Amino acid sequence: LKIGFLASHGGSNMQAIVDACRNGKLYGEAKAVISNNSGSGAIERARKHGIPHYHLSSATHSDPESLDRAIYHALTDNGVTLIVLAGYMKKLGPLTLRHYKGRILNIHPSLLPKYGGHGMFGSKVHEAVLANRETVTGATIHLADEEYDTGAIVNQREVAVLPDDTAETLAARVLQCEHELFVETLVKISEGQIVL
Ligand code: GRF
């Protein structure tokens, strides 16, 4: 798998996948990292690991069409064959979506379709799960499309909600689950057990 990452935040999901490639668990390679946040942990981790990285955003490209083309070229120029959206808070443009259709994976920190959709990200998801007294939550990997969190579900894993959980403790447990789920899913894709 020649993986291109788009990440806006800390990049811990990307790190878990890069580690799996480096320790031989996952037959794959991180070919590019793109972030709309020049100060993101994802860019910092890419720099440390010598992975080609790009700060591409509405700040660097005011015109959405030129941003879409810049993202598309950063991916194709590095031979990316699978896109991993790991905490990427923006929508991909039509050129990138079309070229990589069916090969764009996103991770969401809930059991979609529950607690998904625009605006439901980060601690908002966990606060809603706690407010509704759910006893179980989890993480979902799905194909990304033009909308938020609506593409076909590829893999899911449950996480228990504990009585004394706060949004922070729950987020931390779900994030650990995300890391395990993403690596497991990519291994299954590389081995043909999951066909996109
Ligand atoms: C994760 O919680 C993920 O579910 C959400 O954004 C966060 C990404 O975290 N989409 P990281 O940047 O991979 O640490």
Cβ of 93 below 6 Å from ligand 1: no
Q: How high is the pLDDT of residue 144? A: 93
Strand (E) or helix (H) holding 85: strand 82-85
Q: In sequence order, what are the residues at sequence separation of 6 or more whose Cβ sits closer than 8 angstroms to the Cβ of residue 53?
A: 32, 33, 34, 35, 42, 43, 46, 47
Q: How high is the pLDDT of residue 120? A: 83
74 closest CA partner among 56, 60, 91, 57: 56
Cβ of 10 below 6 Å from ligand 1: yes
Q: Distances from the Cα of 181 to the Cαs of 102, 132, 188, in angstroms?
A: 19, 24, 11
Task: Report the predicted TM-score, pTM, of the whole model to 2 decimal places.
Answer: 0.95
Cβ of 175 below 6 Å from ligand 1: yes
Q: Residue 147 and residue 73: Cα distance in Å, rounded? A: 22
108 counts as catalytic? yes
Q: Quick one: residue 137, left, alpha or beta (phi over 0 = left, psi -120 to 50 = alpha)?
A: beta
pLDDT tens for each residue of the chain, 196 residues long: 999 999 999 999 999 999 999 999 999 999 999 999 999 999 999 999 999 999 999 999 999 999 999 999 999 999 999 999 999 989 999 999 999 999 999 999 999 999 998 778 888 999 999 999 999 999 999 999 887 778 899 999 999 999 999 999 999 999 999 999 999 999 999 999 999 9
Q: Residue 22 and residue 30: Cα distance in Å, rounded? A: 10
Q: How high is the pLDDT of residue 118? A: 76
Q: How high is the pLDDT of residue 58? A: 95
Q: Ligand 1: distance of its center to the CA of 27 in Å?
A: 23
Q: Residue 184 and residue 194: Cα distance in Å, rounded? A: 10
The complex scores an ipTM of 0.93
Q: How high is the pLDDT of residue 132? A: 97
Catalytic residue among 108, 126, 142, 179: 108
Q: Does 13 show up as a binding residue in the annotation?
A: yes
Q: How high is the pLDDT of residue 95? A: 96
